[in-house]
Amino acid sequence: MDVAAAAGVVGGFLQVVFDKYYGSKLEQWAARSGLHGDFLSLKNQLHMVRAMLEAGGGGNAPHNDSLRSLIVELKSAAYAADNVLDEMEYYRLKELVEDTSGRDGGAPSSSARQVVGRILVPAPLLSNPFKRARTGADEALQGQGADTDTPNFDQDAMSSKIKSISCCLEQIAGMVRRIIELDKLVSMASLGHVQPEVVRTLLRKIEGKRFLIVLDDVWVSSHWEKLCGPFSAGMSGSMVLVTTRQRKIAKAMGTFDSLTLHGLHDNEFWAFFLQCTNITEDHSLARIGRKIALKLYGNPLAAKTMGRFLSENHEEEHWCKFLNRNIWELKQEPDDVMPVLLLSYQHLPLSLQRCFTYCAIFPRGYKFTEQELIFAWMAQGLVPTPGEDQTLEDVGKEYLNELLSCSFFHIIESGHYMIPGLLHDLAQLVAEGEFQATNGKFPISVEACHLYISHSDHARDMGLCHPLDCSGIQMKRRIQKNSWAGLLHLKNLRTIMFSASSSIWSPGSEVVFVQSNWPSTIRLLSLPCTFRKEQLAAVSNFIHLRYLDLRWSRLEELPEAVCKLYLLQVLNIKHCPCLLHLPPRIANLLNFEHLIADEGKHLLTGVPCVGNMTSLLLLDKFCVRKTRGFDIGQLKRLRNLRGLLKVQNLENVDGNEEAAKARLSDKRHLTELWLSWSAGSCVQEPSEQYHVLEGLAPHSNVSCLHITGYRGSTTPSWLASNLSLSSLEYLYLDYCSELEILPPLGLLPHLRKLHIVNMHALRRIGSEFYSSGQVVGFPCLEGLFIKTMPELEDWNVDDSNVFPSLTSLTVEDCPKLSRIPSFLWSRENKCWFPKLGKINIKYCPELVLSEALLIPRLPWLLDIDIQIWGQTVINLRGGCLEVSEINANTSSGPINAVLQLHWLKHVSSFHIWAQDSLSVHPCKQKTEPSACNSEHMVNSLQTSAEKVEVTGYGITDELLSAILENEICPSSLSISDCPQITSLDLSPLRSLKSLVIHNCVSLRKLFDRQYFTALRDLEVTNASSFAEAWSELLGSRYAEWGQVTTSLESLTVDSTLFLNSPLCAVLTSLKKLTIHSDFRVTSLSRQQVQALLLLTSLQDLGFIQCCNLHSLPSELHKIYTLKQLEIDSCPCVESLPNNGLPEKLEKLIIRGCNRRLYTGASMMGSTSTKVHLVDR
């Protein structure tokens, strides 16, 4: 391992160790326990070593073998120091839980000296710092893990241990400092300051010239302006190309979008690899070479590095050795790939170096999530103590994003990351055996501290698991306990991860945690398999454990041993369907932050005294009970809660004083708060509920608030006169059944969504709801939802300017509501709903909208959905210029609705499903409406909907005429499922080119021959009288047919009745005719065949799904213009016409027909070169 990298690893770790306990409560406890002097000595040594490595180590560390050895020793001592500090913190928390300080007056007990460890260093070892450091670090860990009971504190042993480690750190750090200082003197004597001369030379070369300068591998951007200064001397059109490994630098420096460089494509890289290795494509070593090339990920520098070794010897045995080796294991020159990547690593801060190095534990190509990695970093103490407004997880996210910005990680899919192949090799290089992924093969490095164990036959032989056959019968366990000996002697072991490979996850597999005397130094234990409760008893000895992962286990309950892991921060029990409860004493985990469980599985709800878990960050649900340990006062000390908190069963809170014990106002990190009383609960009087809610005032940072089941008649002061929720964006008031007046919610400056639902006592919404004085009411409100208000009669708005941002309005199930705010005007001639885009009104039978819903001032309106019930009047006119869809539905009851439509030029879809008829006023006086936004209105008038759809059994002739008379001017019109329509007039549709009529069984009359003849495309299905009506429209006497021409080019019908001579004679432009789904026709009559021959421009003829058609027209060959014939799903047609097909036919398409037809068509296709047969 490179010395600089080693210094970075140790420096980063020491920084975390120092920051973790600096200024913490641990120092106070140490003073109380008689260890204050020893603690300060150890802290000072850590501080000194960290500062020394930052100043002289890192990327500038000299390449000195002696220094490298010292840094290795320093790492061992650092681990020992971290273990000691961790143990002290463990006993401090244990004392708090068990109240030992109160029992002993602050004096720790002394009953388990052998468990805590022995670090008493013999005097002769002090003369040899190398030997002493190694011995001290090892002995600091001896004896740990030998007892499954929770160890007790021994003051003398701890003091001796701290003094020995401090001495180690001081001696080794002194030697490191002297070597670095000597190296710096030599470096400064041999290097000059040449930068100014380089700049002057550069200026002379580029002045007055057009240039291209490449700045390769830029790492800093702080002096970018100064660096670019000389470049201004060049000619216009000059360019500076910058390459960097950091996205933030590319963003800061670039004037164009940055480009991400990936590896070479496979073919290009293979050609370059052949060149580097001096072989050809047909060489006998090419097969092995391709396998080696795959490990280089398209990196040219990696190919150059590997090629230098492979080109030396073209023997197969030599190449096979490199096939099984990693590139980072090769001895490399300064310009090879690993030294270059190492520079990227050394530019990282020490804290990020250590975090990246930890990723060496993962196998190559491993996909990890953000949470998985950050919690692993937290468990190892790699994330420093955050500031007041941050958590460890927040800092971890910053680290992850920084490494992502520097391209050390790649996002491969949603929520998953991966380390690129060569950077994974770099992590292995700088880790130098400390991190190891193994499939059970030994040996494991004695320096290994972090293990990732994947499943294999080797792992099974190690005793990791035993197989079960498919029937569930247990087979003989192949446990070789001796093979664990190597693992059990890894005294610095801090991580054990078992893989989640398919073989481990297979049904019937079971991992057996055999040994109980593991080193207690483990910080992270990931066992995502089926462990039994008794096998987890060993975890009680892991006093340093911070992350326990039991995903996918079949445990029904956790052992009590978990409740003694006082340093535990994260417990992952996701996908554990049998685990329905947590042990009650888990509340003793004062350091606990995260419980990761399946969504909707609120396990902490059943834990008494959850308030003891003062570090807890997430508690999504808390149910108040009148039982000790479940009172609302449990929330008092949970000041770090963030995200969502649901407080339920508030009927069990006795008054304002008890409610105030929750101290919700102190929880500044909560963003979503639910306060709810149980439905139907009558335990509390409404006045008492008011006082309870008054005492539950949240912090002003809450952005989403739900209040459910509240029975008070007024809202609390913090939601009324003393409105303090300045950050509130979402407010839900649900089942507040006795609330008689709404608070002044219009004063909330950032409110975006407001739901008022199930308020049975509210009769009026008045001016108090909006604002006071000159303040704009609801300045940011986008969605207003008023639902299920059985007593609401009046909704009034004064002359204030309110709802300037409202885009969606929903009013549902308000049976007594007769008035809502006018959309039309205000005295100041301002709009109340200038941005309203969606209106949804349902089940409001008393609501009269004839004067209220006049909306010429809604230029943004895109959707109206009104379900009519009772005596509802609907006016849609004026400024509804961009309504795209109108839905009007009724359920039952008498209908007397008026639908006024005017200037609806952008409407593309009308769906009217009224069971009874609608009265329609088409607004014949077409005066141009005024608008709030005149410029927007003018632009709206210039365009209209291209395609309009009219649907529903509520569409009548009168309503259809009103729709079509509103100057919508579409090019395409579809009328479907309108059984009440009897006539159709196309005269208002001057631009209509395409018409679809479907399921209009009563349509018998057509008007305005001019616009029917202008159609280009016509489709008519299930409208049996349309053919007759069309004939009547075009002319009643044969003499008139010759005077009529049409522009129709495509006709699709479901009846051969359209094939009549008077009609076909005028279809002179028809190019495509499709007879689709005519189930009655068996063959065309002689008159129909003659009519077919009148289509003199026909090029495409199709018979589709004519199930009873037995034969094709015999005169088909006389349609000389026909180029394509399609026969689809006509099973009764067995042959082509005896007289053959037209000479110009180019394509015959047969699909889903009789096999005999295929045979005949195949023979015709083989004898005629003019026919292209397609059998699809």
Question: Is 244 strand, coil or helix?
Answer: strand
The pLDDT tens digits for 623-647 are 999 999 999 999 999 999 999 999 9
Question: Residue range 49-77: average pLDDT?
Answer: 59
Q: CA 411, 415, 420: angle at the middle one, nearest 5?
A: 25
Q: Are 785 and 756 in contact (CB under 8 A)?
A: yes
Q: List the alpha helices (DSSP H) in 57-128.
A: 65-98, 100-104, 113-116
Tell whether the model's pLDDT for residue 465 goes beyond 70: no
The pLDDT tens digits for 916-932 are 545 555 444 444 444 44
Question: Is 69 strand, coil or helix?
Answer: helix
Q: Is residue 619 part of a domain?
A: no
Q: List the alpha helices (DSSP H) in 129-260.
A: 129-139, 155-190, 195-206, 224-228, 247-253
Of 402, 431, 460, which closes a domain? 431
Are 312 and 364 within one domain? no
Average pLDDT, the chain: 75
Q: Is residue 397 part of a domain?
A: yes
Tell whether the model's pLDDT for residue 773 goes beyond 90: no
Are 113 and 253 within one domain? no
- Torsion angle in degrees (nearest 10) through CA of 831, 832, 835, 838: -130
81 — pLDDT class (breaks 50, 70, 90): confident
What is the pLDDT at residue 888?
Answer: 67
864 — pLDDT class (breaks 50, 70, 90): confident
What is the pLDDT at residue 327?
Answer: 67
Which range has the top average pLDDT, 72-86, 737-751, 758-772, 824-838? 737-751
Identity of the amino acid at 484: W
Question: Residue range 89-106: average pLDDT?
Answer: 66
Of 684, 716, 739, which closes a domain? 739
Peptide bond into 443 cis (omega under 30): yes
Range name among 683-687, 831-835, 913-917 with the lowest pLDDT average: 913-917
265 — pLDDT class (breaks 50, 70, 90): confident
> Which two structure tokens, joined as six digits, stand for 607?
């834990």
Whole-number Å distance between alpha carbons of 729 and 753: 6
What is the pLDDT at residue 567?
Answer: 93
Q: Which of 1094, 1012, 1028 is nearest to 1061 (CA)?
A: 1094
Q: Is residue 56 part of a domain?
A: yes
The pLDDT tens digits for 929-954 are 444 443 433 333 344 567 888 888 88
Question: Residue range 857-863: average pLDDT?
Answer: 65
Are 952 and 878 within one domain? yes
Question: Residue range 583-604: average pLDDT?
Answer: 93
Question: Residue range 975-992: average pLDDT?
Answer: 89
* Of 117 and 566, more confident: 566
Q: Are 997 and 1003 in contact (CB under 8 A)?
A: yes
Question: Residue range 771-795: average pLDDT?
Answer: 87
Q: Is residue 1146 part of a domain?
A: no
Whole-number Å distance between alpha carbons of 468 and 466: 7
| C-alpha R_g of the chain | 41
Question: Residue range 79-105: average pLDDT?
Answer: 72
388: left (phi over 0), alpha (psi -120 to 50) or beta: alpha
Are 31 and 165 within one domain? yes
Range name among 43-47, 432-436, 662-666 with the lowest pLDDT average: 43-47
Range of the domain at 682: 629-739
Tell whether the model's pLDDT for residue 905 goes beyond 80: no
Are 46 and 163 within one domain? yes
* Of 788 and 248, more confident: 788
The pLDDT tens digits for 277-319 are 888 888 888 888 888 888 777 777 777 777 777 887 888 888 8
What is the pLDDT at residue 453?
Answer: 81
Are 867 and 931 within one domain? yes
Q: Is residue 336 part of a domain?
A: no
The pLDDT tens digits for 234-250 are 777 788 888 877 777 77
Q: Is residue 90 part of a domain?
A: yes
Strand ranges (E), 454-546: 465-466, 495-498, 510-511, 524-526
Are 875 and 975 within one domain? yes
The pLDDT tens digits for 988-1037 are 888 889 999 999 999 999 887 777 778 899 999 999 899 888 888 876 44
What is the pLDDT at residue 235?
Answer: 79
Distances (CA, A) of 492 to 15, 64, 83, 277, 381: 19, 26, 9, 42, 14
Q: Is residue 847 part of a domain?
A: no
CATH number where 361 lies: 1.10.10
Of 981, 997, 1031, which closes a domain? 981
* Of 1084 and 534, more confident: 1084
Q: Are 640 and 664 in contact (CB under 8 A)?
A: no
Sheet of 547-549, strands arranged across:
435-438, 450-453, 495-498, 524-526, 547-549, 570-572, 594-596
Are 149 and 296 within one domain? no
What is the pLDDT at residue 690?
Answer: 94
What is the pLDDT at residue 315?
Answer: 82
Whole-number Å distance between alpha carbons of 155 and 113: 9
Are 22 and 109 within one domain? yes
Tell whether the model's pLDDT for residue 116 goes beyond 90: no
> Which two structure tokens, joined as six digits, stand for 676?
């709810």
Range name among 89-98, 775-784, 864-873, 987-996 with the lowest pLDDT average: 864-873
Q: How many domains does the chain have?
A: 5
Q: CA 265, 269, 274: angle at the middle one, nearest 5?
A: 155
Whole-number Å distance between alpha carbons of 975 and 961: 12
The pLDDT tens digits for 673-729 are 999 999 877 778 889 999 999 999 999 999 999 999 999 999 999 998 788 898 999
Q: Which of 528, 618, 531, 542 is nearest to 575 (CA)?
A: 528
Mind giving me the DSSP string for 397-410? Answer: HHHHHHHHHTTSSE
The pLDDT tens digits for 522-549 are 999 988 665 677 777 778 888 999 999 9
What is the pLDDT at residue 695?
Answer: 95
Question: Is 466 strand, coil or helix?
Answer: strand
852 — pLDDT class (breaks 50, 70, 90): very low
Are 175 and 27 within one domain? yes
Q: Is residue 382 part of a domain?
A: yes
What is the pLDDT at residue 653?
Answer: 94
Question: Is 245 strand, coil or helix?
Answer: coil
Are 36 and 161 within one domain? yes
Q: Which residues pair with 910 in a beta bridge?
A: 886, 950
Are 134 and 8 within one domain? yes
Q: Which residues pair with 874 in a beta bridge?
A: 899
